[in-house]
A and B are shown apart, each in its own frame.
Chain A
Amino acid sequence: MAQPLVKKDDDRDDEADYSPFLGIEKGAVLQEARVFNDPQLDPRRCSQVITKLLYLLNQGETFTKVEATEVFFAVTKLFQSKDIGLRRMVYVMIKELSPSADEVIIVTSSLMKDMTSKTDMYRANAIRVLCRITDGTLLTQIERYLKQAIVDKNPVVASAALVSGIHLLQTNPEIVKRWSNEVQEAVQSRAALVQFHALALLHQIRQNDRLAVNKLVSSLTKGSVRSPLAQCLLIRYTSQVIRESANTQAGDRPFYDFLEGCLRHKAEMVIFEAARAITELNGVTTRELTPAITVLQLFLSSSKPVLRFAAVRTLNKVAMTHPMAVTNCNIDMESLISDQNRSIATLAITTLLKTGNESSVDRLMKQITNFMSDIADEFKIVVVEAIRSLCLKFPLKHRSLMNFLSNILREEGGFDYKKAIVDSIVILIRDIPEAKETGLLHLCEFIEDCEFTYLSTQILHFLGIEGPKTSDPSKYIRYIYNRVHLENATVRAAAVSTLAKFGAMVDTLKPRIFVLLRRCLFDNDDEVRDRATLYLNTLGGDGAVVQTGEDVKEFLFGSLDIPLVNLENSLKNYEPSEESFDIYSVPREVKTQPLAEKKAPGKKPTGLGAPPAGPPSTVDAYEKLLFSIPEFANFGKLFKSSAPVELTEAETEYAVNVVKHIFDGHVVFQYNCTNTIPEQLLENVTVIVDASEAEEFAEVASKPLKSLPYDSPGQTFVAFEKPEGTPAIGKFSNMLRFIVKEVDPSTGEAEDDGVEDEYQLEELEVVAADYILKVGVSNFRNAWENMGADCERIDEYGLGPRESLAEAVNAVIDLLGMQPCEGTEVVPNNSRSHTCLLSGVYIGNVKVLVRLQFGLDGPKDVAMKLAVRSEDESVSDAIHEIVASG
């Protein structure tokens, strides 16, 4: 026994930090574990040693492979003991050790014996342990017992089997699916938790069969579910059915009555689940919402923080789409501003900011001012964001809201918080013209005493753009020039650039700016001096005050429209030589980040059917690949590579997808092929392309794939010539041709003789969107104004009946293949109209901006107004043509 455990009560009290595990050490405990091998087991002592081992693991200690194996084998000896307590610890220990397959065999028979024991506790636990550590092969042996256990009269045993079934369904679905009948019986169990686990498993077994889920839901909603947890599950399944049925024509929504009935359930978790489900219904009406809001309102004044939090969080979400429905709760919500729990208070504030009307803004701001001083930065940021959207909603209130922002800007706060405030002010300045001058002055005051270099430089840059356009630009000069005196080199350099911008834009200020810039020539930092020299020269600071030239303006104000990552890569690859670096050779395509799949449920790869990921699909990688092929090396710069398009159904013998590479005068199809038959080796693989429906294209080269063994992807290419610089479109039909050789699966060797064979692939199209690059702009409004209306083309289109507004918006975005800006691709629920902003670069490096205005015309018909601005009117026309013919 460990030393500290023997100590008596009284002398323990002296030690504040007493712990029975004080000074515990892995090596010593592993030594102690030898008692497991004693011929006469002492159950209590063994239990204590296991507890120590578990304690070590729990504290993050790890066992080496050898140690783990040793402990595992020692622990298996303990099955000899009849002591229940010890057996329980053995079960937990085995789960923690997660033994390997060959170790599992050692305990299998012991566990199977326990599974058929008369003691329920043994049965339940043995099932959980065995299912946790077993693999598929063993499962068939114990399947019979598991099926019995599911309908066992002891609820603990039944639950153990059902929960294990839920876990096993991930790895061995075909076996677990055979248990349907037993699981269905268990759903009717009188034991609450059994019903919950059975329902969860039954639904997972059937989840891909919509009809079956429908039937399950309709029979259970008639009422036979007793367990609150099971009822919560049923509510979730019901909302899923409602979501998928989607035939929300006028009239009552199916199952709505069930959801509403659940609002009167006695368990709070069910009431809340139902209320939340109702608020999340697609296109929920005010009438449907009302009962749910009423119960949530009751929760707001509950004594339990968890209930208040749940309610206010849900109402906060409702307020985004249905602010009016939440206004009834405003009084309760206001009292939550002083809630002890700051998460609740913050949610209440932001909800109020969403539901508030113009007249209540001032009162609300007063309350928030008191509240701001005693919450953490992360909550303040949420509030600042809410105030920003409130201000955009009520531009007339900009004065008080802007004041509020500038006040909190002066108070203490961390970088993220300050950044949120500055960002908000900048957005307000951009979107509310009347707020511009006061906003800029607030920012000027802020940089007078700003400890964050990043924010100072950002603000100086912004001042340089907006300041010269104000009625009295001269008043900002003092603030900017102060920076040159008082700040670190980075900020000084930024201030110099800003001064230069004022000089370039405001001719009357030029002489004074020159004086200031000349003073900067004596700065002790290189960058600052260099910038001053550069600007003095570009602006003609050698005395004569001249009109600033267009190219100088472009130099000062033009944005760098090349992704910085690409520029960095190109510069790294550039080798100093006679030829100077050409900025136009930098690829412009924005690398599309694969969407974070964190939220996606852990999908297992579906075996061979899933084509393995091809070579890295970034522009750089493609460009390198193509330039390495001599036939394509003279095609010039790669304009765009499409995303892979599948040319075969999933789970066919050969998986082929194609990437379209667009060059100025050529198109190259890259066919990524995968052979999914282990008994075959393909050789000399080519794709025969029939371009009879693509008149402007002529095949110029192709590059066959020498050999395509099983499951290792390879590429073959076909190149076409097309008229230079024009968006030629066409349809291509494809045939995979190859020589197939039999492979002996045991040796992996292919036979010498092969047979020629063909395999029909799906058609491939080159569409207009292939000639447009997705290139975003940070501020669409500015870009739009700067582009001017010279080459603007506006027209209206009827898109006919559509499933929803969002569907129509996405269809047009896909058709044009342009980059949605400022999050406008998201259509709020229930809106009847929507504006979507797109930007891109058309082949020939022509920038294009598109403003799409959608409206519902009648119940389903969508009408669209399309405005295009670009640097070339033929391009604007081309965009219209794409839409007109798409």
Chain B
Amino acid sequence: MELCPLIKNILLLDSEGKRVAVKYYSDDWPTNSAKEAFEKTVFTKTQKTSARNEAEITMFDDYVVVYKFVQDLHFFVTGGENENEIILASVLQGFFDAVGFILRGTVDKREVLENLDLVFLCLDEIVDGGIVLETDANVIAGKVASHSTDDGAPLSEQTITQALATARERLARSLLT
């Protein structure tokens, strides 16, 4: 067994299984077509289930996949077959909630695409090279949203209110341009 919990990938797909934002941390899928094939399998295997209240889970081809859906978005986190399912679920929850915070609760494909930079940063803050970096959605969203504040305050002390304020400001700005 792998001694350190490892994340194999984090996927955010739309309601047709198309890529919105994905991040792979493992060499199991060396090419883009291998990645797309995996995404297709994951999507078809889970699409009929309802994972809107609680995170759901499935297992195939030596991978454990936890997933959660909201609106037209499908969130997935994949780990090896022997990974602790609950650790995977906590990473999923962290990602899911952090995106929710950043987008002020309106989580759908369009919002995500419009704030794709923040979602990329979010992925960057959750897992580094397969190792879990942070699972607390408040902290993740805080780190991402400290984006345009230039005060150099310690990141972990950023509160969610601040995070939301910045996110709101950004949105307003992008609408005005």
Contacts and interface: CB of A to CB of B under 8 A. Distances in A.
A870 interface: no
A120 interface: yes
A58 B21 contact: yes
A236 B156 contact: no
B173 to A, nearest CB: 8
Nearest to B149: A84
A167 interface: yes
B22, B35, B124 pick with most chain A CB within 10 angstroms: B124
B40 interface: no
Contacts of A436: none
B146 A343 contact: no
B71 to A, nearest CB: 13
Contacts of A60: 19, 32, 35-36
Contact of B49 (A21, A58, A310, A340): A340
A31 interface: no
B87 A163 contact: no
Nearest to A240: B3
Given A88-B147, A154-B155, A156-B155, A54 B175 contact: no
A193 B133 contact: yes
A19 B155 contact: no
A91 B177 CA distance: 26
B49 to A, nearest CB: 7
Contacts of B110: 12, 18-19
A46 to B, nearest CB: 11
Interface residues of A, number: 78
A720 interface: no
A59 B19 contact: yes
A236 B3 contact: yes
B85 A309 contact: yes
Contacts of A305: 54-57
Contacts of A343: 57-59
B165 interface: no
A268 B57 CA distance: 16
Interface string B23-43: 000010000100110000000
Interface stretch (A269-277, A563-571, A811-819): A269-277
B131 A166 contact: yes
Given A84-B150, A232-B87, A233-B3, A156 B120 contact: no
Contact of A85 (B120, B131, B147): B147
A310 B86 contact: yes
A6 interface: yes
Interface in A184-225: 191, 193, 196-197, 200, 203-204, 207
Interface in B108-148: 109-110, 113-114, 116-117, 120-121, 124, 128-129, 131-135, 143, 146-148
Interface string A595-628: 0000001100000000000000000000000000
Interface in B53-72: 54-60, 66
Interface string A41-80: 0001001101100110011101000000000000000000
B84 A276 contact: yes
A269 B86 contact: yes
B94 to A, nearest CB: 11
Interface in B1-15: 1-5
Contacts of B117: 47-48, 50-51, 54, 85, 89
20 contacts: A9-B175, A12-B110, A20-B116, A59-B19, A84-B146, A92-B124, A121-B152, A124-B155, A163-B133, A166-B131, A167-B128, A200-B131, A229-B135, A236-B3, A272-B85, A305-B54, A306-B57, A306-B89, A309-B57, A341-B57
